[in-house]
Each structure stands twice: as structure tokens, then as C-alpha cells.
Amino acid sequence: MITDTDTRRATTEPVLRIDGLRKEFPGAVALDGVSCEIRRGEVVGIVGPNGAGKSTLFNCIMGVHDPTDGQVHLNDEEITAEFTSRIVRSGVSRTFQLARVFPDLTVRENMVANQDHADEHILKTVVADAESTPRIDDLVELVGLWDLRDRKAGELSTGQKKLLTIAASLLQDPEIVLLDEPTAGVNPNLVDDIIETVVELNDNGATFCIIEHDMDVIQTLSDYIYVLNNGTNLVDGTPDVALEDPAVLEAYFGE
């Protein structure tokens, strides 16, 4: 049976393509020939046991680590080992497992803060004229933080901080957003809010690649998944098929 996912992946060019990515560290190989593709409008999950190479993959995509071998392409333009700032300007945005916010800036100020800067006093000047732009207000409202828009980010819960970083990651209309464990450490009451936010953003055209340990979240959100194990591709496919693959069950549970 041919699914909508099969049709899209057969007829749509990838927004992000990773070819044969290898990353060596002293005494260890974190990635060994990993390849994957994310197409426009998809939510693609990256899953695997601890140590599978998921975070290293994101770091190589974002230019945090220089790959030992392999290539990363964004819309057919190679961005391998570029500076992170250039990769972001090219259209790749990222959130982190531990939400990175400026605690003394408000929700709206955080939306436009360049998180590579360290001086919040400078940032207050930078963001002063941008606090109430329609785009910022729309995103803050979309993620359910409108009533907290003037609250300092340090006063938010873990889940609310993650919603804030998701909203901020979309401010410049990126080609793709990398979400690193968006529900990790979040109160169960807010997990559904994060899922609903990602679904709504995706329905509005956003493309996501997600690292996530919660398989219920992966199955709910993902159109397609790649399972990594020991730094290599293990299985890929739709979640309902890939997660039942014997190789995946062996990697996770030793079955």
C-alpha cells in the first residue's frame, strides 16, 4: 500500500540531505556513514539508544563539529563544516534539550535575542524596537505564551521555556528546524501542548527534524523516522513499520 508519506518522499526534493556523514573523536567513531533526507513539510524523527550518534549528527549539521567525512546539503547547497552563523542564516534553526533562554529578558525579548551573545544589557538595546512586531506576537500566541509575553523567561517552567525556544526558532522562517528532545524534562501536562504546537506549525508549512526518546511522541509527530545505532543507520521508514523492525527491537530491548 502506497502512503502519502511514500508519495511525498518519491516526488519531493529534500530540504536537508546528509550523505555518508562520519565523525571521529580521539579513540571513538561517533558517526560512521550516516545518511538521511528531510523533505519540505515533513516531520522526521531521529531515534536510537543512548550513544547512537543522534546529538553528534545535529552538531555536525549545525557546524558545531566538523565531520571527518561526508556532506550536508541544504536545498542542494553544500553547508558541510560551515560556521554555525552561516548555517543559521542559510535557513537551519535549532532548539536544545536544555532550553536556552535569557532568564532576565522577557518572553518577547527572548524572541529576537541572538543567543550567541552573552551580554544581556546589550541585548536589551538590540531588542527594544522589535518587541511588538506582528510576527513575534503571532508566534508567541501560537505557542500559548501570550499571557506570559511580558514575563521574564527565568520565571517560566521547563515546558514553557521549550515552547518559547520553538517559537524563537521560527522567527526568521527557516527552511528546517532541528528539535532536540522537545519534551524531555517537561511536565506531562505540557507535553501535549508541545505536540499540538509542532503539529500546528507543521500544518502551516514548517519542516522539522526531531530527536526524541519518547516513542509515543515520535509516533504521534513523525511522518518518517531514521533509527541510528552505534553511529550507523539501522532502519528507516514510517514509525509504525520501522519501530517494529526486529533490528530495532534488538537494539533497544535485546529481543
Q: 44 - beta bridge partners?
A: 209, 224
C-alpha cell at 243: 519501530
Q: What is the pLDDT of residue 255?
A: 54
**Residue 55 domain flag:** yes
Same domain membership, residue 219 and residue 192: yes
Could you tell me where the DSSP H helices lie in 113-245? 120-127, 134-142, 158-169, 188-203, 215-221, 239-242
Helix, coil or strand: residue 23: strand
Tell me what pLDDT residue 135 has: 87
* pLDDT tens digits along 185-230: 999 989 999 999 999 999 999 999 999 999 999 999 999 999 999 9
Number of domains in the chain: 2
Same domain, residue pair 116 and 46: no
Residue 11 pLDDT: 77
Distances (CA, A) of 90 to 75, 77, 154: 10, 9, 30
For residue 169, tell me if it sits in a domain.
Answer: no
pLDDT in tens, 65-88: 999 999 999 999 999 999 999 999
Residues 227 and 184 placed together within one structural domain of the fold:
yes
Helix (H) or strand (E) holding 248: helix 246-253
**Does one domain contain both 96 and 107?**
no
Question: In this structure, what CATH number is given to the domain that contains residue 13?
Answer: 3.40.50.300
* Residue 141 covered by a domain: yes
The answer as to whether 165 is a domain residue is no
Q: Is 163 within the bounds of a domain?
A: no
Sign of the dihedral defined by the CA atoms of residues 71, 73, 78, 81, in that order: negative
How much is the pTM? 0.90
Is residue 142, in this structure, part of any structural domain at all? yes
Residues 92 and 141 in one domain: no
The answer to whether residues 186 and 109 belong to one domain is: no
CB under 8 Å to 24, separation ≥6 — which residues?
Answer: 30, 68
**Based on the domain organization, do 90 and 120 belong to the same domain?**
no
pLDDT band (50, 70, 90) for residue 113: confident
Q: Which residues form the domain of 85?
A: 4-100+174-253
Does 88 share its domain with 186?
yes
Q: Based on the domain organization, do 116 and 68 belong to the same domain?
A: no
* Torsion of Cα atoms, 118 then 122 then 124 then 128, to 10°: -130
Domain endpoint, select from 128, 155, 182? 155
Per-residue model confidence as pLDDT tens digits over 143-198: 999 999 999 999 999 999 999 999 999 998 999 999 999 999 999 989 999 999 99
